[in-house]
Amino acid sequence: MDKAELFTDGEAYERLMGRWSRLVGEMFLDWLDVPNGLRWLDVGCGNGAFTEELIARCAPAAVTAIDPSDEQLAYARMRLGAKSAFRVGDAQKLPFADGSFDVAIMALVISFVPDPNKAAAEMARVVRPGGWAATYMWDITGGGTPTDPIYVSLESMGMTSVRPANPVVSRREAMEDLWEKAGLESIDTRVIRIPVVYSDFDEFWDSNTVLIGPQGKLIAGMSASAREQLRAELRDRLPFIRKRCKGPSTRSSTLTGPNVRYWPIADMRQHRTCLLLTQS
Ligand SMILES: C[S@@+](CC[C@H](N)C(=O)[O-])C[C@H]1O[C@@H](n2cnc3c(N)ncnc32)[C@H](O)[C@@H]1O
């Protein structure tokens, strides 16, 4: 597996995605509304952004978290210490006995897994009868991921798509189908919207071009002129809000500067996230 594909740097991941992941995670866990004191499995825990949220909100009896990336797990261990047992693992072949957990959860992972059906079946297997298997993912085909402007701009420049391997599985209907095939009952889904806001263009650029994930790797390998072209594309594309504001007062009769400028409000689009709760 390509390491850059797997988001190997926990700190960079935090800037790119962790903060949005936690924001969605809070809403997702409120909706899930499972009792305290359960045994949780967090599949594809990455740097522990969501794991931290679930520990804070759900007072679990125990949390086990897996991810294929050693580097991400190192960051997660630093973040959470002994509050969770972290180990290397693959969603398609969970290293646990049948019925070992009350809840199995997969946050922002399903579209990266080569065989999503296998991953769903594995989650269903390791959850006890009457337990919960749940997931959420950006609506990638519907433009819901915070990295969508990057995807669209790169594609408009004729560059290879860097979207996750299985974008279609992020659709609400596809998720329902996935869990039905895994033999689960009481399938429920909802859409969550969060505001994704950057203080200015540079913050958007800096956090989306960190050397992590497929787009970070691609951008790092671009020539200086191609990077400049991408910046210009993104500046045009992002919905920055122009706001009129008063300049500093002056006694001079000539204007000292423009009275219209970019105000630090950036991408105010609402992002869509498909969610699924299932009960076996
Ligand atoms: C976007 S990150 C999500 C991390 C974390 N769950 C969160 O919400 O912030 C996607 C994660 O999926 C992991 N991943 C990719 N393929 C996987 C697989 N086959 N099995 C388990 N995890 C996988 C990556 O290593 C990465 O940490």
Domain locations along the chain:
3-144+164-199+270-279
Q: Kindly state if the Cβ of 44 falls inside 6 Å of ligand 1.
A: yes
> Of 160, 168, 262, 153, which is closest to residue 209 (Cα–Cα)?
153
Looking at residues 120-142, what average pLDDT do you find? Answer: 90
Q: Which superfamily does 3-144+164-199+270-279 belong to?
A: Vaccinia Virus protein VP39 (3.40.50.150)
pLDDT in tens, 99-124: 999 999 999 899 999 999 999 999 99
pLDDT of residue 37: 97
With bands split at pLDDT 50, 70 and 90, how would you rate the model's confidence at 240? low
Yes or no: say if 161 and 151 are a contact pair by the CB < 8 Å rule.
Answer: yes
pLDDT at position 126 over 80: yes
- Residue 278: pLDDT above 70? no
Q: Does residue 107's CB lie within 6 angstroms of at least one atom of ligand 1?
A: yes
Q: What is the pLDDT of residues 33-51, one digit of tens each?
A: 899 999 999 999 998 989 9
pLDDT value of residue 274: 33
State residue 21's pLDDT score.
Answer: 80
pLDDT band at residue 8 using 50, 70 and 90 as cut-offs: low
Q: What's the pLDDT tens digit per position in 178-202? A: 888 998 888 888 888 777 777 778 8
- 39 CB contacts (<8 Å, ≥6 apart)? 60, 61, 62, 63, 64, 100, 101, 102, 103
- Please give the average per-residue pLDDT across 258-262, as a whole number: 28
Q: Residue with the nearest Cα to atom 22 of ligand 1? A: 44
For a substitution probing ligand 1, which of 47, 52, 67 has the most ligand atoms within 8 Å of its CB?
Answer: 67
Q: 17 versus 46: which is more confidently predicted?
A: 46
Q: What is the pTM of this model?
A: 0.81
Q: What is the pLDDT of residues 56-96, one digit of tens each?
A: 999 999 999 999 999 889 989 998 999 999 999 999 999 99
Q: What is the pLDDT of residue 254?
A: 26
In Å, how far from its chain's centre is CA 252?
51
Q: How far is CA 8 from the centre of its chain?
A: 14
Ligand 1 pocket test, pick from 72, 112, 115, 208 with the greatest ligand atom count within 8 Å of Cβ, gives 112
Q: What's the pLDDT at 7?
A: 60
Ligand 1 mean position, distance from CA 165 (Å):
12
List pLDDT tens digits, range 137-182: 888 888 888 888 888 899 999 988 788 889 888 888 888 888 889 9
